[in-house]
Chain A
């Protein structure tokens, strides 16, 4: 009797919470009514959470853009906060459909873990942050230092390589979560905090006294940060990839969420094609024709997203730098929409 009740309870619980998808990720997403997006634990600029639990930030905007493309509604996203340890397993297991959690694309991850790297929505490099009181001007002076790092990241490996290459010693202090790393640095458990430069700036504003620490000039690695999807579903991969490109292309074409309706009335064939207003040459994606319009209208173009999340409109005040458009000397570049 009890056995029966128990198994019945377990079964109902499983059925109630499972969404069995027969085929593609897109079908599953549509059935769910939301894009399940894996994001960081709260991390200023990239994944901010307000007191009500609402999310915003550069990585969040990728999730929202995909939702806008699929549903025509940027709010149809279900966010799941993931630690560095959980992130790839969560994506592999189908717990999330998309991982937008400032993760570095590497050969190993792209080929050995059943994942596909979409492209870099933020080009970054690993750097060091030190307390001003130490009077360190260059990373080469860091021999013998205690270094705080987040465990399970490429950062951890780069750090070891860098110190080994320069014949220096260090004491690694590792933590699972980013705020633990920052806190340990703030409290003096270590001399140096190493991470991607974007994270360093973002960590710095959460220090007790942000002016007490400096980011050193050295950049010791390439860190192209961007979204990942599961390997083996090309349709979904293309939806995510082109959702991101749409934001970049919109900036390229000068379309913003504010002027989009005005631009749509214009005559530029590139813009008309981009917004799905002109026949021919457009995408063969299983989406609404106005998917790109929806993204720009509801989320904004790449520049808007960047400025309000990490740029001048945010406390981080990060310059565009590598993340400027190709025509401004940066690396952000979208293939043509035709």
Chain B
């Protein structure tokens, strides 16, 4: 009897052949039946037919460095165009001697963002306060100058990616407090406050940004008392901020709605006033939930900044268009647009990845 019983565990066998390895993976995912198989083959051929000429044009036969269009000799993409204008695309006409100021602002921005996004960085609260309140001031003083012996740089010399970032960041930072107030107002029990907030939010959300920009560039001066006037860039910023505040308000509202009523009641029971309750109990929870939503609306804003080219500001897209309209560089529209697309894509894709990451990490804590 004993002889039939194994005294030791048998080693586990490998899975049956044909369920593992690349061949099996391909059979399951690419050739599961004859229709799928045919589709796969057709697609592979199609992709290769499109990709090979593109890679050939964009990389293999391309020219990368040089000083003028005469350096583009090999018949592929002329990245010399981007190489020559790189500083223009990044900073616009920002004076050569002052370039370090723009770069410094960029450096501070990167460090601040890293501090905000990376987990486990100490003193997070102070970084947040710095980012929201002090960074805009520091950036403005550095970029615009006129203080501490820095030469003044007019805003019409700001351009390229610098201007795109300025508009996007000012738009989100300035719209943030207004958006929170509007969201609170929309959930208020006071009927008039609620009505005003609803009308404000729905009006701005109902019209296209370009009409808002037209309004701020053409009509804002008429609204102000005589003699008072605002810079062209600031006018665009006012329009974008109001527009963005309406969208942010809806994002924040969705966060407020997700907080159970018990939290408000508990805050009341503790004797906190409305603002104390909001500031200490409700908003910290609500805002944490909507971080992905805020990042998403920042992505939308970042893409929307390109519209300022229609009212004659020289953002990234406008500078690139200006450069390939120059008679010396005619005919490089595709290179220019591809470069612009790449820059926008890197920013937007990066941010959307970050927002997905936050969304996932929030999910696990619940």
User: In the complex, A touching B, CB below 8 Å?
Assistant: yes
Q: Does B227 contact A (CB under 8 A)?
A: yes
From the candidates B93, B178, B228, name the one contacting A52 in the complex (CB within 8 A).
Answer: B93
Which residues of A are in contact with B by a Cβ distance under 8 Å? 1-3, 5-6, 9, 13-14, 17-22, 28, 41-42, 51-53, 78-83, 85-86, 89-90, 92-95, 176, 179, 183, 186, 205-208
Contact, CB under 8 Å: B229 / A206: no
Closest chain B residue, CB of each to CB of A180: B325
From the candidates A13, A78, A94, name the one contacting B226 in the complex (CB within 8 A).
Answer: A94
Q: Does B217 contact A (CB under 8 A)?
A: yes
Q: Which residues of B contact A78 (CB under 8 A)?
A: 154
Q: Which residues of A contact B123 (CB under 8 A)?
A: none
From the candidates B174, B180, B231, B310, name the one contacting A9 in the complex (CB within 8 A).
Answer: B174
Contact, CB under 8 Å: A94 / B227: yes
Contact, CB under 8 Å: A93 / B229: yes
Contact, CB under 8 Å: B234 / A80: no
Pick the most buried of A2, A89, A93: most chain B CB atoms within 10 A of its CB: A93
Q: Does B36 contact A (CB under 8 A)?
A: no
Contact, CB under 8 Å: B178 / A6: yes
Given A53-B93, A82-B312, decide whether A20 and B227 contact each other with a Cβ distance below 8 A: yes
Contact, CB under 8 Å: B234 / A17: yes
Pick 10 A–B contacts, CB within 8 A, sort by A. A2-B181, A13-B234, A17-B230, A20-B227, A51-B88, A78-B154, A79-B156, A80-B232, A81-B312, A95-B229
Contact, CB under 8 Å: A20 / B221: no
Contact, CB under 8 Å: B228 / A2: no
Chain B 141-181, CB-CB to A under 8 Å as 1, else 0, gives 00000000000001011000000000000000010011011
Closest chain A residue, CB of each to CB of B225: A20
Contact, CB under 8 Å: B331 / A208: yes
Q: Which residues of A contact B226 (CB under 8 A)?
A: 94
| CB of A327 to closest CB in B, whole Å | 37
Docked complex Cα distance between A85 and B311 (Å):
9
Q: Does B222 contact A (CB under 8 A)?
A: yes
From the candidates B95, B156, B311, name the one contacting A80 in the complex (CB within 8 A).
Answer: B156
Q: Which residues of A contact B180 (CB under 8 A)?
A: 2
Closest chain B residue, CB of each to CB of A83: B312
Closest chain B residue, CB of each to CB of A79: B156
Q: Which residues of B contact A82 (CB under 8 A)?
A: 312
Q: Does B330 contact A (CB under 8 A)?
A: yes
Question: How many A-B contacts at CB < 8 Å in the complex?
Answer: 80
Contact, CB under 8 Å: B231 / A17: yes
Closest chain A residue, CB of each to CB of B330: A208
From the candidates B177, B222, B230, B310, name the one contacting A14 in the complex (CB within 8 A).
Answer: B230
| CB of B244 to closest CB in A, whole Å | 14
| CB of B154 to closest CB in A, whole Å | 7
Question: 14 other contacts beyond A22-B227, A53-B93, A53-B157, with CB at 8 A cut-off?
Answer: A5-B133, A6-B174, A9-B174, A14-B228, A17-B230, A18-B228, A83-B312, A86-B218, A89-B218, A93-B221, A94-B221, A94-B229, A95-B232, A186-B330
Q: Which residues of A contact B157 (CB under 8 A)?
A: 53
Q: Does B21 contact A (CB under 8 A)?
A: no
Chain B 98-136, CB-CB to A under 8 Å as 1, else 0, gives 000000000000000000000000000000000001000
Which residues of B are in contact with A by a Cβ distance under 8 Å? 88, 93, 95-96, 133, 154, 156-157, 174, 177-178, 180-181, 217-218, 221-222, 226-232, 234, 275, 310-312, 322, 325, 327, 330-331
Contact, CB under 8 Å: A18 / B229: yes
Q: Which residues of B contact A53 (CB under 8 A)?
A: 93, 156-157
Q: Which residues of B contact A90 (CB under 8 A)?
A: 221
Contact, CB under 8 Å: A28 / B331: no
Contact, CB under 8 Å: A206 / B327: yes
From the candidates A6, A17, A28, name the one contacting B177 in the complex (CB within 8 A).
Answer: A6
Contact, CB under 8 Å: A179 / B230: no
| CB of A78 to closest CB in B, whole Å | 7
Q: Which residues of A contact B322 (CB under 8 A)?
A: 42, 179
Docked complex Cα distance between A207 and B178 (Å):
48
Closest chain B residue, CB of each to CB of A5: B177
Given A94-B221, A179-B325, decide whether A20 and B312 contact each other with a Cβ distance below 8 A: no
| CB of B246 to closest CB in A, whole Å | 15
Q: Which residues of B contact A51 (CB under 8 A)?
A: 88
Docked complex Cα distance between A90 and B311 (Å):
12
Q: Which residues of A contact B227 (CB under 8 A)?
A: 18-22, 28, 94
Given A183-B325, A206-B327, A208-B330, decide whether A89 and B181 contact each other with a Cβ distance below 8 A: no
Closest chain A residue, CB of each to CB of B228: A18
Docked complex Cα distance between A51 and B87 (Å):
11
**Nearest 4 CB-CB pairings of A with B:** A93-B221, A53-B93, A2-B177, A18-B228
Docked complex Cα distance between A188 and B154 (Å):
38
Q: Which residues of A contact B311 (CB under 8 A)?
A: 83, 86
Q: Which residues of A contact B93 (CB under 8 A)?
A: 52-53
Docked complex Cα distance between A52 and B157 (Å):
9
From the candidates A3, A21, A83, A93, name the one contacting B181 in the complex (CB within 8 A).
Answer: A3
Docked complex Cα distance between A81 and B155 (Å):
12
| CB of B173 to closest CB in A, whole Å | 10
| CB of B322 to closest CB in A, whole Å | 8
Q: Which residues of B contact A5 (CB under 8 A)?
A: 133, 177
Docked complex Cα distance between A6 and B228 (Å):
20
| CB of B119 to closest CB in A, whole Å | 27
Q: Which residues of B contact A18 (CB under 8 A)?
A: 227-230
| CB of A6 to closest CB in B, whole Å | 5
Docked complex Cα distance between A86 and B308 (Å):
14
Q: Which residues of A contact B218 (CB under 8 A)?
A: 85-86, 89
Docked complex Cα distance between A183 and B336 (Å):
15
Closest chain B residue, CB of each to CB of A2: B177
Q: Which residues of A contact B312 (CB under 8 A)?
A: 41, 81-83, 86
Q: Which residues of B contact A52 (CB under 8 A)?
A: 93, 95-96
From the candidates B156, B177, B228, B310, name the one contacting A20 in the complex (CB within 8 A).
Answer: B228
Q: Which residues of B contact A95 (CB under 8 A)?
A: 221, 229, 232
| CB of A232 to closest CB in B, whole Å | 11
Closest chain A residue, CB of each to CB of B325: A179
Docked complex Cα distance between A176 and B318 (Å):
14
Q: Which residues of B contact A208 (CB under 8 A)?
A: 327, 330-331
